[in-house]
Structure 1
Amino acid sequence: MNGQELRDALRSEMASTTPPPPLSTAATLGRARRARFRRRATCASLGSAAVVLAVAGFAAVGGPGDPVYQPAGGGFPLSADASTDTKEPWPTGPDGQPQEDRTARAGSQYDRGVRLLNEVVAVVPAGYTAPEDPADQHADQRTLRTHQAQFEEKVNGVDRWSYLTSVAVARGTGTGRVIVEVHDAGNRLPTEPCALARDFWGMRGECQVETVGAAQVGVVVRPGSDDRLDQWSAYRHPDGVVVYVAQGANLDETRPSLKELPFSVRQLATLAVDERFHLR
């Protein structure tokens, strides 16, 4: 085959190839916002707007239920309106207008996020404190107590939401974190306790099933290669609501780690079935 024949063969092959479908801007930005919050919950240094806007490009970030693709460095244009690429509007806010993106900033879902934050602070065990961010700090830069209500999807005409909160816990010179994430009934998360636990943020690990009353709770007692958190529990209530409760000995690289995790494995499992986190 001469050079001309080779070029003709390549052109023919390229012409017969079906190009991939275009990426959905709405899906990418929506998932990026959720991933951004989770990155901030597990790494306080990513909370600044300078880092958020610093880098373009995409990197894979694990999240509940499916892969999440996040702009590298946690960034996307804050002025971008993901609704411009949607076929239907975002959920309606308390002002009667569609939300600007997946995050509720007022209304009943937002209030549930605040409630979840307060409930997590309330269960911090004796001997530990839950430090607060400065009162004048912007919400996007808070790292010690954070919360978010996130629209996930519409199923059979019903909006499905998730709620995520992160609370710093301190003892002596060490600071770690407790995270609780709740998913509305009708979610697509696994049912088996350990499959459910291993699905949290796309992380894996050594799981065991703990029995709390009549409930079977999956608890990852040792993470795999992804060590953002040290232990977490997962429980699906009979009505379908899913609760994750996680703990980590480290908050960020600027603070020493806790010498001991706040909760035992048994306590972590018990918290997953606690009605205080059963948002409905």
Structure 2
Amino acid sequence: MNEQELREGLRSEMAGITPPPPLSTTAALGAARRTRFRRRAVWASLGSAAVVLAVTGFAAVATPDGRVYQPAGQGSLASPDTKEPWPTGPNGQPQEDRTARAGSKYDQGVHLLSEVVSVVPAGYTTPEDPPGQPAEERTLRTHQAQFEARVDGADVWSYSSSAAVAQGGGTGRVIVEVHDAGNPLPAEPCDLAQKFWGMRGECRVETVGAMRVGVVVRPGSDDRLDQWSAYRHPDGVVVFVAQGVRLDESRPALTRLPFSVPQLAALAVDERFHLK
């Protein structure tokens, strides 16, 4: 076979093979889009799972609300020790979470709220939520009793109450939070004051009689509240009293705070808030 015959044979073989279809730009783009869509779908699924975990985690360690404080532990929380139930409620059964919804501890929270309202100075009103409004939807007057820990066999609780205060079209708030004896909070006045809600600020020590009270007169970067005082009684009970010119973003703020710094310090040692 010479060179010419070889060429002729190759041409004959090539002619018998069906050529591939011409490359379609549309088809190529479609394939690329489908691949990209599949990748996005996978990442979206992973992202959704991460969001669910994040939301679940947040719900499990709910932090104080920026508008109206409700203690950490609001909502259903699992007991830190599954072998040890939550405190027993008035029905003789363990509570479903940290919050007391009936019984003597719940009553302490109600009592604290009434005392908060009673100390609001003249010239201010204390508006109330509409009658029959569910507790979780109230913003003008709130109270809560929360189990914190079991120390040496004794239950340690905290109680918090918030009351809206209004004057001249503006609405602020006054908050009192009390922690049972046995709590791990510090004794030094300003160290104690800096523990309130994890907020920090410019603190000074005010003297009320023989008692020393820490008062944060100006908040730091966290300005949910404007001023707060803190006092640890000799028996270990801790009292925080706070005030803010604004209740929430939907209402105008007060033009001035209800209490002066000395008044705020005096409230922290007031026996009306010394729950036992």
Check whether TM > 0.5.
Answer: yes
2:113 is equivalent to residue 89 of structure 1: no
SS at match of 1:243: strand
Question: Alignment identity in percent?
Answer: 72
Amino acid at match of 2:239: V
SS at match of 1:110: helix
Cα distance in 2, alignment partners of residues 30 and 105 from structure 1:
19
SS at match of 2:87: coil
Cα distance in 2, alignment partners of residues 251 and 28 from structure 1:
24
SS at match of 1:259: coil
Match of 2:164 in 1: 168
Q: Cα deviation per residue 1:221-243 (whole Å; 9 max; x = unaligned)? A: 00000000000000000100000
2:201 is equivalent to residue 201 of structure 1: no
Match of 2:123 in 1: 127
Distance 1:218 1:85, change over 3 A: closer
Cα distance in 2, alignment partners of residues 220 and 274 from structure 1:
18
Distance 1:167 1:205, change over 3 A: same
SS at match of 2:149: strand
Match of 1:43 in 2: 67
Amino acid at match of 2:67: C
In our comparison, the structure showing a higher alpha carbon Rg is 2
Cα distance in 2, alignment partners of residues 253 and 182 from structure 1:
26
Residue 82 (structure 1) shift: 2.1
Match of 1:275 in 2: 271
Cα distance in 2, alignment partners of residues 137 and 210 from structure 1:
39
State the TM-score, normalized to the length of structure 2: 0.76
Residue 262 of structure 1: which of 247, 258, 261 is its match? 258
Amino acid at match of 2:158: S
Report the aligned-residue RMSD.
2.5
Identify unmatched segments of 5+ residues in structure 1.
1-22, 48-62
Distance 1:238 1:254, change over 3 A: same
Cα distance in 1, alignment partners of residues 258 and 217 from structure 2:
14
SS at match of 1:82: coil
Residue 87 (structure 1) shift: 2.1
Match of 2:17 in 1: none
Match of 1:187 in 2: 183
Q: How many residues align?
A: 222
The answer as to whether partners of 1:181 and 1:244 remain within 8 angstroms in 2 is yes
Cα distance in 1, alignment partners of residues 245 and 104 from structure 2:
32
Identify unmatched segments of 5+ residues in structure 2.
1-52
Match of 1:146 in 2: 142
The answer as to whether partners of 1:30 and 1:101 remain within 8 angstroms in 2 is no
Cα distance in 1, alignment partners of residues 113 and 96 from structure 2:
23
Q: Cα deviation per residue 1:155-198 (whole Å; 9 max; x = unaligned)? A: 00000000011100000100000000000001000110000001
Cα distance in 2, alignment partners of residues 192 and 201 from structure 1:
17
Q: Cα deviation per residue 1:59-100 (whole Å; 9 max; x = unaligned)? A: xxxx8xxxx7x9xxx9xxx6x562497221000001100000
The answer as to whether partners of 2:77 and 2:98 remain within 8 angstroms in 1 is no
Distance 1:194 1:102, change over 3 A: same
State the TM-score, normalized to the length of structure 1: 0.74
Match of 1:58 in 2: none
Cα distance in 2, alignment partners of residues 84 and 189 from structure 1:
20
Cα distance in 1, alignment partners of residues 82 and 109 from structure 2:
25
The answer as to whether partners of 2:189 and 2:230 remain within 8 angstroms in 1 is yes
The answer as to whether partners of 1:233 and 1:268 remain within 8 angstroms in 2 is yes
Amino acid at match of 1:146: T
Q: Cα deviation per residue 1:109-143 (whole Å; 9 max; x = unaligned)? A: 10000000000000010000000000121111000
